[in-house]
Amino acid sequence: MTIPHLEGNDTKGFLDEVFRGATCGFLVVGAKLGPRGLETHSFHVSEIAQAAEAMQVLAQRGEVYFERGLQGVRPGAGKRGNEAGVTWVGGLSIDFDTREGPHATEPDKLPADLKEVRKLFLEASVPEPTLIIHTGGGVHAHWLYAVPVLMASAGERAAEKTMAKAWSKRLEKVFKVQGYHLDSTYSLEHLFKAPGTLNHKESPSLKPVTLVSTGHRYEQAELRKLLANELKTAARGIPGAGPGTLAAQFAETAKKAFLASNKAKPDELPPILAGCAWLQSIVERADRGEKLTEEEWYAMISIVARTTEGRKWVHEISKRDPEERRYSFEGTEAKIEHALKDAGPANCRETVQEKLKFEVCNRCPFRGLVTSPMNLGPEPAERVGVQRDTIFAQQGRIYLRLSDGERFDVPSYSDGMLSRVGDNPHYQLMKSKKTAIVTRLGYVPGDHRLIMKNERGTLIANQWQPGGVVPGKGDEKPVLEFFERFIPDTRSRKHVIQYLAHLYQRPAVKIEHGLTVSGGYGTGKGTLREIVAKLFGEHNIQKIEGGELEDKNNARWVDKQVLIVEETYHKGKYETYNRTKSLVVDDKFPVQDKYVKTYEGTSPRGILVTTNEDAPMFIPEGDRRWFICVTPPTPEDDEMAEHRAFFKGFRDLLKRDDTAVAAFAYYLQHEVDLSEFPSKGAPPMTAAKERAINASRTPLADGLVQLIRNGAPPYLHKDVVSYKDVLRALQTSDWSHLVTSTAPQKIIKAIKDTGGCAVHHNAEGRHLPVRFSRTEAYELYAIRSRPRWRKASLEELKAEHKREPGAPTANVYSFNEAANMRDPAYPVTSEAEIEAYRREAEEQRDTLFSRLMAGAS
């Protein structure tokens, strides 16, 4: 039956159609006219005209709604109706938010507009609504019954709500496939808008609420048949929908119809084996002739015996018992009967994980989606196998393949799954309730859960995997002897071992500096990488070549406990240093890959760089991001034989088994003291780092360093200078031949290469000139005591810049800011003061850098 054509703003005509056939009951109208809540009015169903007129009047002042269900008793003055009082509904109604209006849901989680919502109707295989309302910020759709539903009891109300919930769940599945959110709006007294009113949510800009289409009415039985699959579970959680109620009858009828449609499959063993790691381990152990405990055997029977040909498979598994006379046909049959009649199938949490102590359940993607392995029985085995290895992250729309940690966008993953899942794999996986869907990916070392919920309730997939050697008491001396040979310097060796110990003792805590080991060929850098891989597991480390630090596809850098960079090289550029700065310090790091769009990954907890170069990358003066140490030179001929003999013996020990590394892991975990390890502060200065800093400077910057250290009056005796001061100092020095250009950019770069910094900025981080007179203004740079001059006042900057040679200055820190590089010509400052200034300077520099980068972008 088709309803008559209505005008787009015909409030009365619309209400007449929604409540057509009702002879009793009260229509409740609510108006949000201010901050004091909802102003309500109620009208007998025979007063539709008055209700429509009241809605149009109230709409001039604020948001106006009506309740979709009629109340059996008129609510008290100022009261809304409630679900328990609903006695009549005209059909099914859903409220869809779109990006056209302001909503609590993030815009990218909502369909764009009415056109996209209608497209989703088609994908959900639901018929066109009887009435579609465009609210200006969303869509209200009503599928009206040919005959309205009168509800005289709680059971009848529960049955109708079950229908509404099933309808909403059917649409919600399609929304999830697209990454969209659909609010639950299926309550019997939910509020909806009517055409002829106004949307005030973006006041003072008002949007009209209009009727955009009309269509057919539907038999309730016809819609119930369409909802056969959803009705099987929709009654759960609805009061009054228990055994014997109409809602329960709906569910039972729907289940029978679903089974009769040949769409459902009987419980099969292959999909359970494909998805359940525990049952798979039971079968594999039995096949190897291992003895199962009585509890394991009985739990296995409770699952396998319930599948097609399950009895046969139980006997086959039981026959493999290595203990003679334990198996008998009669005894096994008795156990099967007991398991089928007196107990249900084994439960994932209580039986498998807690009673049988199967810890792999923590890493199961079906955790929370199934209560028993039995739930996988009706599913296609191939798809279950894919789901066991798959997690879908809504943020970025990324598929994570658990077996190898690879990430894919939707088209790439779908292409690879066509042969296993069938047509439109993404739709099939999103449609299935057995697919693990999380909000985003994460990486939390040491936490054995695969899927976790944070304090805000966000579901996160933890990409860390248990791995590495199991610590055990033993002889750690062979590994310690390797480190003594590998890093002879006691101070450097202690820091490297503490670095590894911190990664082992506090796996989730990021170390905010990287570790660089440089040295000749054949000195043990490859062996160090092998030890690290054994300690943490191959899944939790990532090896990359130094050249990859310039690659824009940098997803391999993140979501690992340790990033190992092999053979970095110095190009005299800032790019590599600046790109890795955030990776070394920040907890999150933005990355992209050829298969997925840009997303935010968890930066590695530690970074290890191995190289043959003295200057593996640009290291500026005052760097706090890198610890650099060296191995001995490649042995000469007379030492080579002994050197090779040691490494051959040690590598043979590593290949034989993991005993030595396990003992070293125990040593790291229990015997290394981390109380003074600077996980958040600057690492110790080393001679190797001084060489790297010197090698990072240009010849011009090297010359400037000497001039600054010597004071070089009358230009560089002061701490605050202009580029012209630096230029004149260079031109009158022994390094004048290096000044082939007087371009300010070249001189300013030399200042920054020596650790100098710009001073006097505005709120946006722009470097401002300091005016000394009407005709004289300079951009100023601090070449010493940077923390002091970064926070100095304009008057203090001017005074220092004007300071004559020989005049006293309030210097508080030397040119070289690192504690071990202090120039003895300057007053000694306490370690506490040095650390305070260092932290303050770094924070200010990072803040400024972020502002400048934000402005550049």
Q: Is the backbone peptide bond immediately before 714 cis, with ω within 30 degrees of 0?
A: yes
Phi, psi of 640 (to 5 degrees): -65, -40
Looking at residue 811, its pLDDT comes to 47
Q: Residue 734 — very low, low, confident or very high, per pLDDT cuts 50/70/90?
A: confident
The DSSP symbol for 463 reads: -
Q: Residue 504 — very low, low, confident or very high, per pLDDT cuts 50/70/90?
A: very high
State mean pLDDT over 524-552. 88
- Residues in CB range of 283: below 8 A, 6 or more apart: 273, 317
Residue spans per domain, the chain: 11-219, 269-462, 477-688, 697-856
Q: Residue 246 — very low, low, confident or very high, per pLDDT cuts 50/70/90?
A: low
Beta strand 606-611 with 398-401 is: unpaired
Beta strand 562-566 with 606-611 is: parallel
Q: Which residue has the tokens 């200057």?
A: 615
Q: For 424-441, write each residue's pLDDT tens digit.
A: 899 999 999 999 999 999
pLDDT at 594 over 80: no
Residues 758, 637: Cα–Cα separation, whole Å: 52
State mean pLDDT over 785-797. 87
State mean pLDDT over 753-758. 83
pLDDT at 421 over 50: yes
Of 112-116, 308-312, 664-668, the poorest mean pLDDT is in 308-312
Looking at residue 821, its pLDDT comes to 34
State mean pLDDT over 504-521. 91
Share of the chain above pLDDT 90, in %: 43
- What is the pLDDT of the chain when averaged over all its residues? 85
Q: Say which amino acid occupies 38.
A: L
Q: Which CATH architecture has domain 477-688?
A: 3-Layer(aba) Sandwich (3.40)
Looking at residue 265, its pLDDT comes to 59
- Residues in CB range of 226: below 8 A, 6 or more apart: 125, 126
Query: Largest Cα–Cα distance of the chain, in whole Å?
Result: 109
State mean pLDDT over 734-740. 81
Looking at residue 482, its pLDDT comes to 93
HSE-up (13 A, CA, CB side) for residue 790: 21
Q: Render 744-774 in DSSP notation, one character per residue.
A: HHHHHHHHHHTT-EEE-B-TT--B-PEESSS
pLDDT at 524 over 90: no
Which of the two residues, 666 and 201, has the higher pLDDT score? 666
pLDDT at 571 over 80: no
Residues 149, 90: Cα–Cα separation, whole Å: 6
State mean pLDDT over 692-699. 76
Looking at residue 252, its pLDDT comes to 63
Predicted model pTM: 0.57
Q: For 640-662, write each residue's pLDDT tens digit.
A: 778 788 888 998 999 999 999 99
pLDDT at 630 over 60: yes
Looking at residue 244, its pLDDT comes to 60
Residues 834, 827: Cα–Cα separation, whole Å: 12
Q: Say which CATH topology domain 11-219 has.
A: Alpha-Beta Plaits (3.30.70)
pLDDT at 696 over 80: no
Q: For 199-241, write each residue's pLDDT tens digit.
A: 998 878 899 999 999 999 998 888 888 887 788 777 777 776 6
Distance of CA 289 to the CA centre of its chain: 43
Q: Residue 812 — very low, low, confident or very high, per pLDDT cuts 50/70/90?
A: very low
Looking at residue 828, its pLDDT comes to 41
State mean pLDDT over 323-347. 85
Looking at residue 476, its pLDDT comes to 93
Q: Render 229-259 in DSSP notation, one character per residue.
A: HHHHHHTTT-TT-STTSHHHHHHHHHHHHHH
Which of the two residues, 208 and 554, has the higher pLDDT score? 208
